[in-house]
């Protein structure tokens, strides 16, 4: 992970890794990995769930070069959601650290599975402009009020059996009442692990560019994902 720099938000975590050099920070993307429903076991930097977000960080860092984009990966303290919604606590702590380090810059949140649920839940924090759920875990009854004025995109592999697309679509139907936009994107021929890495990376880059107003930031085939401001 050449060029990355990691620090603890608090003494015992969570931990943020900054990808790429960015001196004049004008916006931030915060990436959050997945986990388990119930676990108090600690995370480590080389586990698959954590590493799954690295290609997203690289792709976003490349797209944001020269645009003042700081790309941060969050490593959670524990693997589980648990009764205390531990990942949400960590995302909020990380956003506080972002504000201290970079000021009142716009933020795009992106999370996979459990991390997707965490970033959706934390959407109401100051500075958040858009939220990308990557095969997010969105169980029945998950709140939507925090999405008021935010842009939401949920992407699911059509063969995802772990976080069924039907749950995400049901959540989006409720979110559209409050969100600035709430869209769904099926990813063909893929499931929960997001094995079609280039396709998922293109979605993340295009959504980030659309939220932050990068009119010319859609490399290659990613341009077709640009109009996320529309409701569908």
The model's pLDDT over 30-47, given as tens digits with 9 standing for 90+, comes to 999 999 999 999 999 999
Q: Is the pLDDT of residue 226 over 80?
A: no
* Strand order across the beta sheet in which 181-187 lies: 5-8, 15-19, 69-75, 27-32, 107-112, 128-134, 151-157, 181-187
Q: How far apart are CA 172 and CA 229, in angstroms?
A: 14
Helix 114-121 crosses helix 86-102 at what angle (to 10 degrees)? Answer: 60
What's the rounded Cα separation, in Å, for the pair 192 and 128?
Answer: 25
Q: What is the pLDDT of residue 223?
A: 45
pTM beyond cutoff 0.95: no
Domains of the chain, first to last: 5-225 (3.40.50.1820)
pLDDT, tens only, 149-173: 999 999 999 999 999 999 999 999 9
Query: Could you tell me which of 114, 106, 151, 155 has the C-alpha nearest to residue 131?
Result: 151
Give pLDDT tens digits for 40-91: 999 999 999 999 999 999 999 999 999 999 999 999 999 999 999 999 999 9
For residue 198, give Cα distances in angstroms to 59, 193, 204, 205, 216. Answer: 9, 13, 10, 10, 19
Nearest to 82 by CA among 135, 36, 38, 114: 38
Is the model's pLDDT at 138 over the cut of 70?
yes
Per-residue pLDDT reduced to its tens digit, 169-214: 999 999 999 999 999 999 999 999 999 999 999 999 999 999 999 8
Q: What is the pLDDT of residue 2?
A: 55
């Amino acid at each position: 992970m050449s060029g990355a720099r990691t620090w603890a938000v608090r003494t015992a975590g969570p931990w943020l890794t900054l990808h790429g050099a960015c001196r004049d920070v004008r916006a931030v993307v915060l990436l959050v990995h997945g986990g388990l429903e119930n676990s108090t076991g600690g995370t480590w930097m080389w586990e698959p769930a954590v590493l799954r977000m690295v290609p997203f960080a690289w792709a976003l860092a490349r797209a944001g070069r020269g645009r003042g984009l700081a790309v941060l990966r969050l490593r959670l303290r524990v693997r589980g959601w648990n009764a205390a919604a531990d990942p949400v606590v960590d995302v909020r702590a990380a956003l506080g650290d972002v504000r201290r380090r970079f000021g009142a810059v716009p933020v795009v949140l992106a999370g996979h599975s459990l991390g997707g649920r965490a970033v959706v839940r934390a959407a109401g924090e100051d500075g958040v402009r858009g939220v990308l759920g990557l095969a997010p875990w969105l169980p029945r009854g998950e709140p939507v009020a925090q999405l008021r004025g935010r842009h939401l995109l949920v992407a699911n592999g059509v063969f995802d059996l772990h976080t069924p697309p039907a749950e995400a679509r049901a959540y989006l139907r409720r979110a559209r009442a409050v969100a600035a936009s709430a869209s769904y994107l099926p990813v063909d021929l893929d499931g929960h692990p997001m094995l079609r890495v280039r396709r998922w990376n293109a979605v993340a880059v295009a959504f980030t560019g659309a939220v932050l107003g990068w009119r010319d930031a859609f490399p290659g085939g990613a341009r077709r994902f640009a109009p996320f401001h529309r409701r569908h």
